Amino acid sequence: MLQVRGLSRSYRNQQKVLNNINISFPEGSFTIIAGPNGSGKTQLMRHLNGLLKAQEGEVLLRGESIQKDLNHTRRSIGLVFQNADSQIVGQTVASDIAFGPENLRWPREKIREATEQVIRELSLEKLRDRRPHTLSGGEKRRTVLAAVLVMNPDVIVLDEPFTGLDYPGVQDILKDIVRQNKEGRTIILISHDLEKVLAHSTQLVLMNKGEITASGRAEELLPHLEEYGIRRPWGENRTLKSMTWLKP
């Protein structure tokens, strides 16, 4: 269980960008966070693995502050950022995936095995020796996801992972996310493309102006989205079950 309690943040005495955020992410849950631009979604994400330290409030992983052992926190909670380019460090896809384990000085054989496994899992075999800056947007996203998965995290947080991807590109990433959730990992997905993903969620969190304005099961919130400032471009009568881009 990952818990956020009373989390607030402001920059230079301006209005709070996060204001008393309280939310729990149970083990194995699939949370979707939505809200208008500037509502604080990315700021919240950056607190979840200690990249930003809480000014007020705290983040707890299994009851312990994530600040207590930041190395453990960063292994347990993997972030996939909005901009894949900012997160790719290796000279090749394979070396980018191995970067985290190498930093932690895992034994060579263990690094090799773990890297090979995620390359297979995410079907990156053909890309393994490619230079990351030559990859397409979707291929970059999958590389970043692989570099997160190789650490075997309990929780994966993804910030708008579908931006700029075409239909198959979205499907590839979504399939991987759903599989990781089925294997027991907790998923926190920031996305305004609710019609692509909502069917998979166990919890929907709506944010506005630094606050959580609603949280609950998608079926409860779906009829009320406009009241929380979320547009429904997919129309009134869409069923929750149909809100996925994965083929049945």
Ligand X SMILES: Nc1ncnc2c1ncn2[C@@H]1O[C@H](COP(=O)(O)OP(=O)(O)OP(=O)(O)O)[C@@H](O)[C@H]1O
Per CB under 6 A, the segment of 30-38, 126-134, 137-145, 230-238 that binds ligand X is 30-38
Q: Between β-strands 211-216 and 203-208, what pairing exists: parallel, antiparallel or unpaired?
A: antiparallel
Site string for ligand X, 189-228 (x = CB under 6 A): ----------------------------------------
42 sits near ligand X (criterion: CB under 6 A): yes
Give which of Mg ion, ligand X, none residue 43 binds (C-beta under 5 to 8 Å, depending on kind).
Answer: ligand X
Least Cβ distance, residue 193 to Mg ion (angstroms): 13
Give the chain as a 3 state SS string: CEEEEEEEEECCCCCEEEEEEEEEECCCCEEEEECCCCCCHHHHHHHHCCCCCCCEEEEEECCEECCCCHHHHHHHEEEECCCHHHHCCCCCHHHHHHHHHHHCCCCHHHHHHHHHHHHHHCCCHHHCCCCHHHCCHHHHHHHHHHHHHCCCCCEEEEECCCCCCCHHHHHHHHHHHHHHHHCCCEEEEECCCHHHHHHHCCEEEEEECCEEEEEECHHHHHHHHHHHCCCCCCCCCCCHHHCCCCCC
Q: Name which position in 29, 31, 39, 76 contacts ligand X (CB under 6 A).
A: 39
86 sits near ligand X (criterion: CB under 6 A): no
Per CB under 5 A, the segment of 20-28, 41-49, 132-140, 147-155 that binds Mg ion is 41-49
163 sits near Mg ion (criterion: CB under 5 A): no
239 sits near ligand X (criterion: CB under 6 A): no
27 sits near ligand X (criterion: CB under 6 A): no
Q: Name which position in 10, 19, 20, 42 contacts Mg ion (CB under 5 A).
A: 42
Give which of ligand X, Mg ion, none residue 39 binds (C-beta under 5 to 8 Å, depending on kind).
Answer: ligand X
37 sits near ligand X (criterion: CB under 6 A): yes
Give which of Mg ion, ligand X, none residue 51 binds (C-beta under 5 to 8 Å, depending on kind).
Answer: none
Contact set with ligand X (CB under 6 A): 11, 17, 35, 37-43
